[in-house]
A and B are shown apart, each in its own frame.
Chain A
């Protein structure tokens, strides 16, 4: 029997990131994580908190005026103007049960001695999360901007991507060498993609480019080949970041169903097109990274594509090997790591050659984030595999 002291009674949207993640700090000692170089290949900041700043970066003066007027005049549009933020995404925090998904409304003081001066608030929040989880470097993405591939107006999509990329490279990436990003490409415009790569490809902190996976653009069209060539020649990885799509909600009535399926099906479509059209053969040095679809879909895709390819080889004549063999040379991020059956997880990691192809990702601050201890605690991984997954593979892929 002993007496003890109070802690903060309940985690809310106002809790400090360091308090929310206090238990993750225990894992640093438990798994000796200070001895690892940990790179988090998928995390997020909340760009809508800075939306007024980003709208100022919109190049086209007419679109910029529309956006600013929308933000000023429409109820609730201050942080959303011009964007296609889907209202259904506000279901993500499970009715307030997972507060950090809704927002990080914690206090950040310029005078609290932590990072005085003009540092952007988002950078302070990112650093608090990294330090709490023992992460050395973090690849940071936006959130609703990852839905931009479904924007009804491709011109506005292009304008928003350009504005965000400029804002993010100047205000965040240039300020902190521990923070990196793969910038989104305006994929409805191959010329815009090339312009984006050439403008931002050598900016500090830019380690690759990204397709926001929820979109209808067929990536096998010939117009995209110069884009892939440009990335390959520059040695920049090409990422596919999954996202939810409520259009599947026409057949589904609950967010759990929409999330479970649509975060995977978007990358299933792109990966199938990428392989069956022989793009790994056409651009053999271009590294692809499949982000935030988890891992359980991969053995399904390997078996399914191999099975059909063996019977219909004439429809994929560029392939020289089985689809699964190309998949074993692609890169994957680990989150959300389905770990309800460790035998299946072990078989999955074996199938995708996780020791050299898998990279840890937290997805913080999303509701299904994974701490580094998730990888460090897996009983079947070798010490080398753990080190590679937690950071060494990312070090090579992104030349960190």
Chain B
């Protein structure tokens, strides 16, 4: 889910039962990253002799993709997979019954 909160917007995502909350602003150019596509990591499979055998999805590592330019972030870490210093602003998130609380 993506919601406005005061002067910012927050995206909250549930992965394998755990909640993650991020600011809806991409560290690249400020795009609405939390309104992007959620899609598993793409990995390239290699064989025993290091030959490429094509792409496949890794369902254990969902990615959030900024719709402005395609910067991709692991939902579990908030980091860009190619340069970990490029990361989303993360917020604390708690769940109590049917309510979700985000500390901004």
Contact = CB atoms under 8 A, between A and B. Distances in A.
Interface of A: 1-2, 4-11, 20, 22-24, 26-27, 94, 96-100, 367-371, 373-374
A27 B29 CA distance: 10
B68 A2 contact: no
A97 B65 contact: yes
B29 A373 contact: yes
A26 B96 CA distance: 33
A94 B70 contact: yes
A257 to B, nearest CB: 14
Nearest to B37: A97
A352 B48 CA distance: 49
A1 B32 contact: no
B30 A27 contact: yes
A94 B36 CA distance: 13
A145 B42 CA distance: 33
Contacts of B10: 4
A5 to B, nearest CB: 5
B4 A5 contact: yes
B103 interface: yes
A2 B65 CA distance: 26
Interface string B73-104: 00000000000000000000000000001111
Contacts of B104: 2
Nearest to A1: B101
A6 B2 contact: yes
B93 to A, nearest CB: 10
B1 A100 contact: no
A24 B68 CA distance: 10
A7 B9 contact: yes
B4 A7 contact: yes
B39 interface: yes
A296 to B, nearest CB: 17
Nearest to A93: B70
A325 to B, nearest CB: 33
A6 B52 CA distance: 43
A179 to B, nearest CB: 23
A245 to B, nearest CB: 22
Interface residues of B, number: 28
Interface of B: 1-6, 9-10, 24-25, 29-32, 35-37, 39, 65, 67-70, 72, 101-104
Given A4-B6, A98-B70, A100-B68, 14 more contacts: A2-B102, A5-B4, A6-B2, A7-B24, A11-B32, A23-B32, A97-B65, A97-B67, A97-B72, A98-B65, A98-B69, A100-B67, A367-B70, A374-B29
A1 B103 contact: yes
B68 to A, nearest CB: 7
B3 A7 contact: yes
Contacts of B35: 7-11
Could you say which of B1, B25, B67, B103 has the most chain A C-beta atoms within 10 Å of its C-beta? B67
Contacts of A26: 30
Contacts of A374: 29
Which of A24, A27, A98 has the most chain B CB within a 10 Å cutoff? A98
A370 B37 contact: no
A24 B70 contact: no
Nearest to B35: A11
A22 B32 contact: yes
Nearest to A101: B70
30 contacts: A1-B103, A2-B102, A4-B4, A5-B3, A6-B1, A7-B2, A7-B3, A7-B35, A9-B1, A10-B37, A11-B36, A22-B32, A23-B30, A23-B31, A23-B68, A24-B30, A94-B70, A97-B39, A97-B65, A97-B67, A98-B67, A98-B70, A99-B67, A100-B67, A367-B70, A369-B68, A371-B29, A371-B30, A373-B29, A373-B30
A4 B36 contact: no
A99 B36 CA distance: 9
Contacts of A371: 29-30
Contacts of A96: 37
B53 to A, nearest CB: 14
Contact of A368 (B67, B69, B72): B69
A100 B36 CA distance: 11
A129 B35 CA distance: 18
B25 A23 contact: yes
A27 B25 CA distance: 12
